Amino acid sequence: MDQRDKDAIKEIVGEDHFTDELIDLVSYSYDSSDHDHRPDCAVYPADAEEIGKILQLANQRGFAVVPRGAGTSLAGSTVPAKGGVVLDMVRMNRILDIRIPDRQVVVQPGVVYAELQKALAPSGFCFPPDPASGKVCTLGGNVATNAGGIRGAKYGVTRDYVLALEVVLPDGRIVHTGTKCMKSASGLDLTRLFVGSEGVLGVITEITLKINPMPTASRTALASFETLRQAGQAVTDIMHSGILPSVLEIMEENTIRVLRENYGAELPDVKALLLVETDGYTDAEAAYAMGKVVSAFEANQAKTVSQAKDKASAEKLWAIRRSAGSVAGGLRPNNLSEDVTVPISKVPDLLEGIQKIMEGQPYPFVIFGHAGDGNLHPKIMFDGADPVQVKDVHHIAEQVFRLTCNLGGTLTGEHGIGLAKAPYMTMEHEPLAMELMRLLKRTLDPNNVLNPGKMALDD
Residues 54-113 that bind a copy of itself (CB under 8 A): 99-104
Residue from 14, 118, 216, 391 touching a copy of itself (CB under 8 A): that is 216
Q: How far apart are CA 126 and CA 215, in angstroms?
A: 9
Check binding of 195 to a copy of itself (CB under 8 A). yes
**Residues 358-377 close enough to bind a copy of itself by CB under 8 A:** 372-375
Q: Interface with a copy of itself by CB under 8 A: which range of 88-96, 189-197, 306-314, 327-335?
A: 189-197
For a copy of itself, the binding residue among 2, 122, 187, 312 (CB under 8 A) is 187
| Segment near a copy of itself (CB under 8 A); pick from 12-20, 111-119, 294-302, 437-445 | 437-445
> Taking CB under 8 A as the rule, does residue 122 contact a copy of itself?
no
Question: Is 196 an interacting residue with respect to a copy of itself (CB under 8 A)?
Answer: yes
Q: Which is nearer to a copy of itself, 227 or 345 (CB)?
A: 345
- Max Cα distance, the chain (Å): 71
Considering the complex, state which of residue 72 and residue 254 has its C-beta at the smaller distance from a copy of itself.
72
**Complex with a copy of itself: residue 60 or 123, whichever CB lies closer:** 123
If binding is defined by CB under 8 A, does position 190 make contact with a copy of itself? yes
348 binds a copy of itself (CB under 8 A): no
Q: In the complex, what is the shortest distance from the CB of residue 69 to a copy of itself, in angstroms, rounded to a whole number?
A: 15
One-letter amino acid at 69 equals G
Q: Rule CB under 8 A: say whether 143 interacts with a copy of itself.
A: no
Using rule CB under 8 A, residue 285 touches a copy of itself: yes
Q: Does 142 bind a copy of itself (CB under 8 A)?
A: no
Residue 173 is a binding residue for a copy of itself (CB under 8 A): yes
Question: Least Å distance between CB 404 and a copy of itself?
Answer: 9
Binding window for a copy of itself (CB under 8 A); candidates: 32-40, 59-67, 86-94, 193-201: 193-201
Residue 409 binds to a copy of itself (criterion: CB under 8 A): yes
Shortest distance, position 139 Cβ to a copy of itself, whole Å = 15
Q: Does 136 bind a copy of itself (CB under 8 A)?
A: no
Number of residues that bind a copy of itself (CB under 8 A): 97
Taking CB under 8 A as the criterion, the residue among 4, 122, 186, 387 binding a copy of itself is 186
Shortest Cβ 48–a copy of itself spacing (Å): 12
Q: Considering only residues 217 through 256, tell me which ones interact with a copy of itself, judged by CB under 8 A.
A: 235-236, 239-244
